[in-house]
Amino acid sequence: MIQEDACRLLALLTSIKAMDAKIEQQIQESVYAQHIDSIPGFGLVCSAELAGEIGTLERFPKQSSFSIYVGMAPLDNQSGAYQGTKSPKHVNTRARKAMMTAVCRHISCVPESRAYYDKKRSEGKTHNKAIRALGRHISRVIWSMLRHDRDYEEPLQTQIKKAA
């Protein structure tokens, strides 16, 4: 029984390697995926999934509609004295999950993002709300990168620290 499980595990690992190679090939063919993959922490799978779900920027009239589509922008939910937010209904759940995963990884790669996340947590936000707040900023960066056909550029403070 252990040998059968080991054989299945080896077959799965081989299958995963084949899929990773296919994903990498698809990324080489997609300009959007290449730009998104240049962001620290955004791996091959998240970049490919986001690029595939975005399709083309012409679908989105402005940056805020793009942020709503990828699930990084809450909507205002106010009535009388009550002020709050709610999740929009027209969100691409696959894109939202890819963004949440990628933003979680991004925090460990970019100190400024970690500081922003920690600031939101100290303000009393939950983990997911702090991730979405950072994700909103990153969705603005992605929007700008794709519109201007550019790769990610590290913040100036990070470049200075690496040079020192």
Q: What is the DSSP code (8-state) at residue 79?
A: E
Predicted confidence at residue 81, as pLDDT, reads: 67
Tell how strand 75-79 and strand 82-86 pair up.
antiparallel
Predicted confidence at residue 162, as pLDDT, reads: 59
Write out pLDDT tens, residues 4-52: 999 999 999 999 999 888 888 877 888 898 899 899 999 888 898 999 8
Query: If we measure between CA atoms, which residue out of 88, 70, 83, 76 comes closest to residue 131?
Result: 70
Predicted confidence at residue 115, as pLDDT, reads: 94
Strand partners, 79: 82
More confident residue, 101 or 83: 101
Predicted confidence at residue 120, as pLDDT, reads: 93
Angle at 30 between CA 28 and CA 140, to 5 degrees: 120
Average pLDDT over residues 104-127: 92
Domain regions of the chain by residue span: 2-163
More confident residue, 55 or 89: 55
